[in-house]
Chain A
Amino acid sequence: MNFEWTPEEAAFRQRLQDFLAVTLPDDWERFSQHGPASPALTKYAETFCGKLAEEGLLTPHWPKAIGGQGLDPWHQAILAEEMWIAGEPRGGQYMNVNWVGPTLIKYGSADQQARYLPPISEGKALWCQGFSEPGSGSDLASLRTRAVLDGDNYRVSGQKIWTSYAGLADTCFLVCRTSDDRKKGISILLVPMDTPGITVRQIPSLIGEGDIHEVFFDDCVVPVSARLGDEGQAWEIIGYSLTNERLGIPRYALARAALDRAVSLLQAQAEFASEAVKLEAAHAAALCEAARMASYAIIDCRSRGEAIGAESSSARFATVMAERKVAEFVVEYLPEALADAHPYLKMHHQRGIVAGIAAGAAEIQLNIIATDVLKLPREPR
């Protein structure tokens, strides 16, 4: 075991930090409060991702054959950490490069790859992910949005909800039902968001403007050629997408950065003297670092090409614990951060609450740990 970064990994992180320092605008911290999905940040992300692409830093973890540099999962993790700590200036495009692109590389037809990969690697695309529905959240396989074959087309009707970025996205990675079989009856369509019959409605939220939406599909005509993989292959494809996104966003890194910021602000106000405050901060740091190491253990497996399994749920739950503790610390000891005094901390607080819900509720992670890590018998259904 070696817990040091290699000189090359350290240099890569430094290069990212230098790039962020010269590229982000002066008022970035205040600006980033808009949230990754806001119109303002989405617009800025186009410029930012374009510059990242020019530097070879947008898709460095993609294979060389399609414009990446084939960098290993540690580099992907370093990139994700630095971007998320900085308030995610890539906006919703982080999703494109993390899993939409890699999934298209694996399952996309030649036409789909030619159409969708270049805009992603140039930083010009914005995808949204149409999974959840009003009746299907944690129980995704119960989804009901229908795609009915009609000649060379599908006719799609139904409703998605909580869809991030939908308001400004150009394409939807849509999961829909093509037959009644619970899991084998689900297929993926790549649907342009300007397809007639699509209506998007924004849902005001705690986490920032423009983040989540309802998306209605009213008899939309989508060509069969827009299907990713075979009919009924969605469950397998989603599984593959998840291996690229199992750990999700490196929230532990921003949580720790926010904690450090909060402590330095308290120190400047001579309010980091009390033992009670120090103790709470230490507990929060321990949870952040435990989540970081649990995540690194998964990345280490990936970097050696080993399959990663349910342990990633353990890392995710550890991250939820860290997010909560840091948020509670700030609420208790630096409440002005939830007003306008400290935009960086406000940004963290807005986003942190999502950790235990988005991309799989915390209880679902615990279920997975119980069954697949602890090998306990399943709950009756």
Chain B
Amino acid sequence: MDLALSSDQIAILDAIDSLAKPYAAAPTHEAGFAMVSDALDRELAEGGFLDVAFDPDLGAVSAALIIERLARLPYAIEAAASALVRPLLGDDVSRPLCLVMEGKHARPIRFLKAGATVIVTGHETVSSFTVSQDQARAEDTLFGYPMGTLLIDPATVAMPCPDVSPEAVLVRWRVGLAAEAAGLLAAALGSTATYVTDRQQFGRPLATFQAIRHRLAEAQVRTNGVYWLAMKAAGTLDPGDAALAALHAQESARATVYDFHQFLGAMGMTLEHPLHLWTYRLKALIGALGGRGAQGLAAADAIWG
């Protein structure tokens, strides 16, 4: 057991931090529900950051670290599927990647737009297709991601990916979800902690009231747990580990999101404050992959048979 980052991983995260610096401080004034940046996305892709898991020496843990770090930015970046699931399919697959459960394609899909690759995961098979202009409609949602709806049934256009196992896709999907949630939780927690430290009421910072301190401390415990379960699952790629990580991520998002907004009072209801850019992404992740119930059952089956 050795939980230290390798020198390569430290270098990659440093590089991401300097690349992302202009975007971390991006103006968030009335940002809308989701913020995207094509320039940031291009820089990440060109820098090869989303390709690390193709390199067996760096592997899925490095990808998970990158996903976690990028999720802390106010911008929504399609990193999880690209960095973790794309290595199963090949590096010629066009981004963004949109992961869909078979039979659930009617719901809004994160990052869906023309040119995206849709990966449909069923019980037995995985299939994919590239979305054309007339197959997708952009959706105006409350979630912190750009989203779209498919106007066709994927079964009519998707081509099978015979070498890709649905189980492997699900494992990496869950790991990516957990790693992304860890970053979102960390950023939302940090943003809330800063606010309650600065905001004074009754002659003292809100952060000195124990009711707030303890709930934020519990959020820290959860955030830390989600981070480590995500990293471990990336390290083992074990179905049970992945399902536990995703379950803990969704449960922790559910348990904290309303507290974060609560502690900002009315400021937390505005689009001026960036908190929603993280929490409304977390809300989207809570419902991914069938929600907590599906992760829980998958975990129970993987662990206890």
Residue numbers of A with Cβ under 8 A of B are: 1-6, 9, 74, 260, 263-264, 267, 272, 275, 278-279, 281-283, 285-287, 289-291, 293-294, 296-297, 299-300, 304, 311, 314, 317-318, 321, 363, 365-367, 369-371, 373-380
Contact = CB atoms under 8 A, between A and B. Distances in A.
Contact of A286 (B1, B193, B244): B244
B299 interface: yes
Contacts of A318: 221, 224-225
Interface in B50-98: 61
B243 A282 contact: yes
A285 B303 contact: yes
B1 A377 contact: no
Nearest to B214: A366
B1 A4 contact: yes
Contacts of A281: 300, 304
Contacts of B222: 290
Q: Is the interface of A mostly helix, strand, loop or mixed?
A: helix
Interface string B215-230: 0111011101110110
Contacts of A379: 208-210, 213
B221 A321 contact: yes
Interface stretch (B110-118, B144-152, B289-297): B289-297
13 contacts: A3-B232, A263-B304, A264-B304, A281-B300, A289-B248, A297-B3, A300-B3, A311-B224, A317-B217, A367-B217, A373-B217, A374-B193, A375-B197
B225 A283 contact: no
B261 to A, nearest CB: 17
Contacts of B304: 260, 263-264, 267, 272, 278, 281
Nearest to A278: B300
Contacts of A311: 224
B247 interface: yes
Given A282-B247, A294-B228, A377 B197 contact: yes
Interface in B222-264: 222, 224-226, 228-229, 231-232, 235-236, 241, 243-245, 247-248, 251
Contact of B1 (A2, A282, A369): A2
B178 to A, nearest CB: 10
Given A286-B229, A376-B216, A377-B207, A6 B247 contact: no
A279 B297 contact: yes
Interface string B4-28: 1110010000000000000000000
A27 to B, nearest CB: 27
B1 A290 contact: no
B23 to A, nearest CB: 24
A366 B221 CA distance: 9
Nearest to B192: A374
A163 B3 CA distance: 36
B2 interface: yes
Contacts of B217: 314, 317, 365-367, 369-370, 373-374
A296 B248 contact: no
